Structures are given as structure tokens and as C-alpha cells.
Structure 1
């Protein structure tokens, strides 16, 4: 059984930033030489998440528009009355109720079993941030 851990350090540019991390995850997976197992991804942040979805520019803009409508930042949230770190980010925490801190991708025959249209995204709901972390654990047989 082979187990490895790595981190992807990201810098986000926008208040809500959807970053395609498929290529660096795939590279780390290929370097592991795991044939059967899984890739486990985890975001240790309360306002940044990981998800699988389709990479298409218009859809990504729809995602941003949807998230901004779902929890507008300018609403009078209680959490923003006394922010812990000075950030008015209640809307980011509320949006996080609908997202996942982790994803598990199966591996078989030396391939990540992503669907034909699936990409891996890191979604920061409270940017911009100079540093965000995505943990990558690869487990399996080589």
C-alpha cells in the first residue's frame, strides 16, 4: 500500500474565485504511479472548497452569478457585526453550507476515474487571498 501527501498552494485573485486544479492534481497522481486506489482532496478552510464540475467559460460565469445571488455580500449578516479577522465574510461561510471541503476520486488501471466533462475546482468564496492550501493524499497500490 502506497500513501503520499502533498499540498497545492494557491493564490486567489477575486472575491469568488473558481480555479481549475485538474492539471496539477493529475501530475501529482501520475508521479505517484498508483494503479488502483484513490486521490483524496481536502481544503482546510471554512470559506474555500473543492468540487467536481464542467469546465466551460459560460457555465463558470453562471456559477459565479448564482453564488453572488444566493448570498449577497452586502446583506446585514450578524457574523459581520464583529468579524474575527476583520473580514466581512458571513456570505462566504453561508455559501460554504452548500459546498464540500473534500472530494475523493477513484483510481483504476492507473487512471483517475473522472467523467468525460469533469474537472477539479478549488473554489475560494472569500478572496482575494495570498495563500490557500489544498491537501492531496494519494492512496493505493503501485
Structure 2
């Protein structure tokens, strides 16, 4: 078995944003040359996550609307009274309770084993941010 670790860099432009990173992950897998294995993605952030879902524009708008209503930014959250980095981002941490920081995807015959409608999303909940990261860990064999 061989392992490869990379960090994908992203910049986000909106307070809450869904970024389809499927192509970038596929490119990393192709470059590694693995035929079989496992791809794990992990966000090192507490207000940005990774998720598998459908990449359809109206559904993505529904997702954004849902997340904004789930924990509105303008509420009087205790965390916002003494923010760590001068950002009122309690809403982002609360929404994050329902998300995952990592996903693992099997690699079969050189391809990500995703469902027909599945795409990989980086989900920003506290943007915009000029520098976000997503760690990519490949474990496999040629």
C-alpha cells in the first residue's frame, strides 16, 4: 500500500457557499495513479465541512436557503458576544453540528465509487474566507 497526502486550497466568496470539488478530487486520484484504495477528505476547520450530495443548481439554492434558516446569522448567540477572531459565527458552528468534517470514498478501478448523482462539496458556513484548506489522503495501490 502507498499513501499520498495533499492539501487542496480554496477561497470562498459568500457567507454560506457550496463548492463542488469533485473534479479536483478526481484529478488528484488520476495523478496518483492508484487503481484500488480509499480517498479520505477532511476539513481542518470548525466552520467548513465536506459532504456528498447532488450537484443541481436549484437544489443547491434550496440547500443554501435551508442552512440560512436553520441557524440565522443575526440571532443573539452567546458565542458572538466574545468572538475568537472578531467574527460573529455562532450560526456556522451550530449548523456544523449537523455536518461531517470528513468523508471516505472507495477507489475502484481508478475511479471514485460515487453514486450516479453524488458530488463532493466543500461547504463554507463562515465566509467569505480567502484561504481555506481541505486535506486529501489517498491510500491505495497501482
RMSD (Å) for aligned C-alpha atoms = 0.5
Alignment length (residue pairs): 142
Report the Cα distance in structure 1 between the residues aligned to 2:26 and 2:108, rounded to whole angstroms.
Answer: 14
Report the Cα distance in structure 2 between the residues aligned to 1:120 and 1:100, rounded to whole angstroms.
Answer: 12
What does the per-residue CA deviation read over 1:77-136, in whole Å, with 9 as the maximum and x for residues that have no partner? 000011111000000000000001000000112211011100000001000000000000
1:6 corresponds to 2:6: yes
2:9/2:131 contact within 8 Å kept? yes
1:39 corresponds to 2:43: no
Report the Cα distance in structure 2 between the residues aligned to 1:109 and 1:122, rounded to whole angstroms.
Answer: 25
What SS does structure 2 have at the residue aligned with 1:139?
Answer: strand
Stretches (4+) displaced over 4 A: none
Correspondence for 2:81: 81
Q: Which runs of 5+ in 1 are unaligned?
A: none
Correspondence for 2:58: 58
| Residues 15-26 of structure 1 mapped to structure 2, 5 A cutoff | 15-26=15-26
Q: Which runs of 5+ in 2 are unaligned?
A: none
Correspondence for 2:94: 94
Measured after TM superposition, the shift of residue 48 of structure 1 is 0.2
Measured after TM superposition, the shift of residue 51 of structure 1 is 0.3
| Residues 103-118 of structure 1 mapped to structure 2, 5 A cutoff | 103-118=103-118
